[in-house]
A and B are shown apart, each in its own frame.
Chain A
């Protein structure tokens, strides 16, 4: 504080005002998400109780025999705390030590997966087993105080087959991110290094395409996709596929819709890399493509990761395109949860839908936690330069 000039310091009233505003905003930002997460762990009577404390403490859920004791809470929070701490200190060191040079990203993927599996094993298998033995011995410390049940998650994931939708989501988002980035980095590099008029017009065209409502394009895709077998038969013969309902078709559509944004963003990242770097490589005898592959790409990872995050969000969050272009068996998570609405006749169904919604949010929550810095820097790089 001491290095701030006195005149720049805020008067007390303003300080309190802005702190109060921030506290209010944080409450507003987090409340709906926190609240539906709480609801998803309670039995329906508690989830829609009139008294907010009943939703938090869940007396009915507890009386039905699903609850956490003081010991459960203490141990659970301790394990979570150490798991997080290890994830941010021990894991990065291990990953950099173990993975071969230049392939740290692959090491991260394997490391993160192994860590996640280990965590699930400890938290959901070992910990309950230990607590099952300890709780009856400890008397009042082991008696349940907060009602909590995972039955809705079991209903959604096991009985309603949400697992399939999750796999479909993974396929669609994985495909979209990979193809988007491959195609986008090439175009972004080309656009960043070319000052020609055509490059400018391409960017303007991309901007106009970015503005198009997606339903405009869908009206064009649907007839072609539904009748694709007939249209493609003269070219591909009898085995011509019907594109409607295929994940691959949806991936291609999502990649194309996302291209305008991807190339704008990657272009601004490439522009931050000095031109001298390519020129040096070219002097050493590289072609443009070799310079791109061996010299520019290794320093581009932050930009690629950020753009990948946004492509991921687009594909993961999409409802309009996946709802219209995928049929029931291939549906991703977001349109699938909208399908629950029709069955939502009882309060139990409603809480099951809440649990499904929380299941969809959970990966996003992790994503922000891990990649917060990239998201912020990516947004700002895209805005300030774009």
Chain B
């Protein structure tokens, strides 16, 4: 295909990606170094209270925003502030003091650091479970009777396809104060249980939810991979006396390795974005993630203002994190590409 034709085919998609992904990204990058504030002025205001014979009047200085005469809007000014927004998000002094004092709780008092801790823990803990559970289901379905496979795949796809907020809500309702599972566990252990009153139980439920939600995706892909395992290799392994476990370890898993890398890549990207669970479990008071932090800055506060500069700074930091996580995988892709072109 000629280069010109190629460009015509790709142009609309490229245009959308540049306008709606690359451009906002640049503006967020620049925005993280700026702060937009209303211009304020100090005016003398005389307030008089009703009084007999003489009014008592006081004059004081008030700070009020400057209003544009023509449009009636509040005049704003944008200032270049360097790393101020980053400092406000990271709170390096407070964090450093907490680290020096080895005070874990003090460090977790800072929103960013506690969000970072949760996001990384969440991403790295769920990863092996998703791959393990997905592989286990795939192996079990592969050896199940043919007639059962269709219904099992149907049921398995449900957690994957369900709206994440609703999926976490459905689990929330089972464990909420008078939910059926809470009642069950209470009756079994003979003690009161409140799953949503402390951080660690919510985190546990979130981890469970994410594995429940993504394992079917891993399962479907591994299941497809299992259909293409070379039967001759398996048979010769049997002749060589390989046990079931050996065959799994030396034939099946190496065959599935590219798929495992693929799942790991997708799961890293998606788990790092953890957000919907926090909404579904209403966990924001106990646990937040990096993406939730940005969302929170972007929501209008009581006065209707959105903290754009802090949101920009926190989202740039979020992005930095995913890039660091992906570097090994991207390097691998790059090496494969170079290997192919030679």
**Interface residue ranges, A against B (CB under 8 Å):** 5, 7-8, 10, 14-15, 18-19, 21-22, 25-26, 28-30, 32-33, 35-36, 39, 48, 50, 52, 55, 182-184, 186-187, 189-191, 193-194, 196, 198-200, 202, 204-224, 252-253, 255-257, 259-260, 263, 288-289, 292, 313, 316-317, 319-320, 324, 334, 337-338, 341, 350, 353-354, 357, 360-361, 364-365, 367-369, 372, 375-376, 379-380, 383-384, 386
- Which range contains the number of B residues in contact with the other chain? 35 or more
Selected from A253, A288, A316, A372, the residue in CB contact (under 8 A) with B157 is A372
Picked from A196, A210, A219, A313, the residue with its CB within 8 Å of the CB of B298 is: A219
The answer to whether B23 touches A7 (Cβ under 8 A) is no
Flag if A368 contacts B319 (CB, 8 Å).
no
**A214 vs B294: C-alpha distance when bound (angstroms):** 10
The answer to the question of B234 belonging to the interface, with a C-beta cut-off of 8 Å to chain A, is yes
With A29-B212, A222-B308: A35-B174 Cβ-Cβ less than 8 Å: yes
**Is B102 an interface residue, CB under 8 A from the partner?**
no
Q: Are A216 and B318 in contact (CB under 8 A)?
A: yes
* Residues A199 and B6 in contact, CB atoms below 8 Å apart: yes
Q: Is the CB of A19 within 8 A of B27?
A: no
Expressed in whole angstroms, the minimum distance between the Cβ of B7 and any Cβ of chain A is 8
Q: In the complex, what residues of A have CB within 8 A of residue B27's CB?
A: 220, 223-224
- Interface residues of chain B, those whose CB is within 8 Å of chain A, are 1, 3, 5-6, 8-10, 12-14, 16-17, 19-28, 31, 136-137, 139-141, 143-144, 148, 150, 152-159, 161-167, 169-171, 173-174, 178-180, 183-184, 187, 212, 216-217, 220-221, 223-225, 228, 234-235, 238, 244, 259, 262-263, 269, 272-273, 275-276, 279, 282, 290-291, 294-295, 297-299, 306, 308, 311-312, 315-316, 318-319, 322-323, 326, 330, 333-334, 337
Cα of A316 to Cα of B299 in the assembled complex, Å: 22
Known pairs A21-B140, A186-B12, A383-B262; A29 contacts B155 (CB<8 A): yes
A-B contact pairs, 19 of them (CB 8 A): A18-B140, A18-B144, A22-B141, A30-B155, A35-B174, A187-B12, A193-B6, A200-B337, A214-B291, A216-B318, A220-B26, A224-B27, A253-B20, A255-B16, A257-B20, A260-B21, A263-B13, A365-B158, A376-B153
Docked complex Cα distance between A241 and B212 (Å): 43
Contacts A338-B165, A379-B224 known; 14 new A-B pairs at CB < 8 A:
A10-B143, A19-B144, A22-B137, A32-B171, A187-B10, A190-B8, A208-B326, A213-B290, A216-B315, A220-B24, A256-B20, A260-B17, A319-B164, A360-B166
